[in-house]
Structure 1
């Protein structure tokens, strides 16, 4: 049985829908307020588990009402959350999402996610050792991410890092990564930190890939996703759909991509599946609500 481990953040997302984002110093009224379970770790784990693959979620929540609500919500998914750490006297992470018709802006308070430390990895080392794929992101301390990736590589586990939200990647971390999945903005930040950007995506992706032994996949929103293989850049376009909410599209991509890699799909096929899944996800409100099942994805394929 194939297994995925997702190490990452869990948040309670508070969505405020507005006609537009406020200017600095301005107060505006929100049309609606919604509470939804989110966090990149939680979102990506749900996306992967809906593909029917055994998925374990590792991370930290607080022993508060939001933490209880997150556990109750995730227990309805086909997802192993038995190894989540519940931190005493610490609040669960919160993300406030300001949602307009075609965009969003997000402010995150990490809360318990900051307590996802090296000990969290050690406590779950056997779970990671038995995985086919470890997927992680940067909403938890980067020292934890690096340690988990290093351990996974020692065990021969395939590793995926979604460098979001973007932080400078420490020197040496790339040696523990098999697949790197930034979006176009994050990739631009990567280039500015390592190389002089030419301003041309293909040139920059090829240049970066020549210098690093990591398979690079850049998600590009409505333009699909591009990846480098055998010295060439390939772009997988996405279909046109009625966009309701783009929140969680990148997380859907990563969860489904991890599933496809665990199932030994060719890179192009894995990216195509992930692009279609992400496209379907934006047709519903909320990060997890629109994430497709494997049956829905196969029907679209």
Structure 2
């Protein structure tokens, strides 16, 4: 049976990961244990997660002609991802992320975007033909905002649902929100979108409502293991998550979004798709690494919690 097609627009990074006993404080040096170099980047993580979850993925991104970029493209091809729309930008480094992963699974991440900053709106318009036949378009914010806006515009013009994972957190212009079908911030990102300096658990429904009113879009406010606060025109409430022992939470949100796009592209009901995505994310945090942690469709369907 033919797989549904989605387009992912976003970043490609190489993650340099150190396992540490805890996240160091400012100015503190600590000794870690293991070091790994792992393919990452929010866009790439979501593209891989969606491909493993059963979709035909075209990835629009930008890498350098360095060894990291070449290896990244090879990795995507091995996942069955269409790499024909990955731009090669010579003379700059490919995206790099430095990640500390603590024993409890929490992490701290620093990103040097490199070539990701060279994915421009004109590149999106140049690749416009690949949007034809897509069931979903998925983007994040590790590439320039105007590039994300161009992707949203193309999706809007072609009548394709557009999922925005607003990470890293940033203020979102209403011109972009008006073209978003589903937005999936975590609590911190929701606070930034709603101009809050601080928030508590009681603010979650309020933030979801404010984001909904800004764009009239479906809001999936992710709460980690506690679940997802869903706000639509006809439903508002928490869809419970799954409690697991976390090993590495690095790409949990990316796996959630990739699996969500795959489920919706396969015409799954929204609430069922959210549950499907939460199952995928729960599996991912029990494994080390970003892309290596993304589960297959069979694993998502048959895992027992």
With normalisation by structure 1, the TM-score equals: 0.94
* Alpha-carbon displacement from aligned partner over 1:106-163 (angstroms, at most 9, x marks no partner): 0000000000101210221101233111100000000000011011100111100000
Q: 1 CA distance for matches of 2:143 and 2:231?
A: 28
Cα deviation code 1:18-37 (max 9, x no counterpart)? 11222222222222211000
* Pairs within 5 Å for 1:1-301: 1=2, 2-102=4-104, 103-192=106-195, 199-300=202-303
Describe the superposition over 1:236-285 as per-residue Cα deviations: whole angstroms up to 9, x where unpaired: 22222221111100000000110111122211111010011100111110
TM-aligned CA deviation for residue 287 of structure 1: 1.0
| Structure 1 alignment gaps of length 5 or more | none
Asked whether the 8 Å contact 1:97–1:105 carries over to 2, the reply is yes
Distance 1:197 1:245 in 2: 24
CA distance in 2, matches of 1:166, 1:17: 25
How far the C-alpha of 1:167 sits from its partner, in A, is: 1.3
8 Å contact from structure 1 (residues 206, 233) kept in 2:
no
Distance 1:19 1:51 in 2: 32
2-side partners of 1:212 and 1:83: how far apart? Answer: 29
Which segment drifts farther, 160-169 or 228-237? 228-237
Whole-angstrom distance in 2 between the partners of 1:142 and 1:207:
21
The number of equivalent residue pairs is 300
Structure 2's unaligned 5+ residue stretches are: none
Q: Partners in 1 of 2:17 and 2:127 — Cα distance? A: 32
Retained in 1: the 8 A contact 2:174–2:214?
A: no
